[in-house]
Structure 1
Amino acid sequence: MKNQDQTNTNLLLGILGNPVSHSLSPKMHQAALDALGISMQYLYLPVSSNHLAMAVSGIRAFPLRGVNVTIPYKQAVMPHLDRLDATAQEANAVNVILKEGECLSGYNTDIAGFMAGFSNHSEALASGRVLVVGAGGAAAAIVAGLMRRVQAVSVVARDVGKARNLLSMTKANTHCQIAELPWPVTSAMIANHTIIVNATPIGMHGFSVKKWLPDTAVLGPNHICYDTVYTPQHTPFLIAAQAHGAQCIYGKTMLVGQGEVAFEYFTGQRPPEGLMRTVLDASL
């Protein structure tokens, strides 16, 4: 973590991805910047895949202190950076790019953000058997965060190659049981796990949850259901989970958690306590 004040020379921050118009990160970060009297502006930076390399190079040229990285570029940006922090190496994904002199460094705050959701579920986590749906950048950070804390992690994803690559990079580093399961998600998979995590954008405004969600009647009070999607707050997955008595963790918890850590990387200061969550709650 960078402790020195980083607010004097760079005036811009942003979120890089495609799409980014749905993101509430700009509102959260701008509110914290304004509250602390930091003269930075936080921008939306939509980038098409064929312009990604150019966009990352642009961070060097423009007065950007750094950017958050969102779908679908958390892994695609990695070859374009000069160095990867230990957090990014552990997660095999980057969601924060920081300009440090002439060097572009990649960090990952998704692990910390995701694990913040289990602050009231530590016992269930320790004995948990986790099913992670998805194998992209968010899933990579999630599996990295889980593998030293739970008994077993299973990954099920439409892209088999991504799932295998994700698991191949984690198996050697843990005693946790790690398995790849064949797509699609089934009711039996849900029944055989105690924690279900949606690490895909399915369920977000504009996506159909029916692409992965099977019969949810097998869900019950012993399940913890965690959706990384935060718009809408009450996703179809979590609505179904709640209807069957499952415990729910909302995507806004991860968003705020990773955002608070990212803000400290950008500015060298902690955001005002609770401010990002308050802004997010008011926007959902």
Structure 2
Amino acid sequence: MMMALVVLWAGRTVLAPLIGPNPNVDMRPSAEGWFVLQPRHTIGGELRFWLGVLLAWLAVMALTFGQYFVMAGRHYQFLAVVGLVVGVVLALVPLVMSLRWLWIFGRIHEPVVTVNHARPKMGQTVEARVVQRFRRSMRVEKIILEMSCHRQALFVSDLLRSGSQLVEDIPWLSAQSLVESATARAQSPVTGSAAYELPAELQAIPKFKIKPARVMLRWQGRLAVVAGGRCIYQAIYPMVVEFAAARPMTAAVGEQ
């Protein structure tokens, strides 16, 4: 058990940067003018992860308990059913919780916002990423952009044009050069498509699109669900095989 926990902890540490950035991130401008996302671990994330591990372990114990009493005979059918039911419930709890949060963020809260961008060139970091987290008050808690300075100006100016209230919640708008550039472009006269004419070096940049993004199940919950599903399979499959093998044997004994 201890070895399994060590492996899970190591796997989480190694896979976390590969799976995706933590919504709780530090935004630090680099010397090249890029905003670098630096994930940091949070107590809530750690607790959710270890809760999933604990539930998966309890599911294993409950299913093993139920399987043991199934093998013990008919007199222990009640205990066997209790063990199997408890094991299945414990294995499904992380999935139910994840689906609940998926429903809350997808239906009640405002959608998470992402920015589409072209695939970065070799040696470049991701040029555009927006992460929004929402409180129960339906207000943006944090919006983080990782893009070059000229793309920041384009994005902010588009927000200013549309009258979006998100601009008030962008922390890096205090940069005077960015504000001046975005404001100047936003205040330019609107004459159809001419208002969006860009310099030649910027025309190849795809237009940013803000769209709702699906709130994916947290990988901690997926880990617990996979572990619980495997436990269910390991506990039920032998019983199914034994039951299927016992039926013809019983019939043969009756015929004799």
Q: TM-score, normalised by structure 1?
A: 0.28
Which has a greater percent of helix? Answer: 2
Higher relative contact order (CA 8 A, sep 6+): 2
Q: Which has the larger radius of gyration?
A: 2
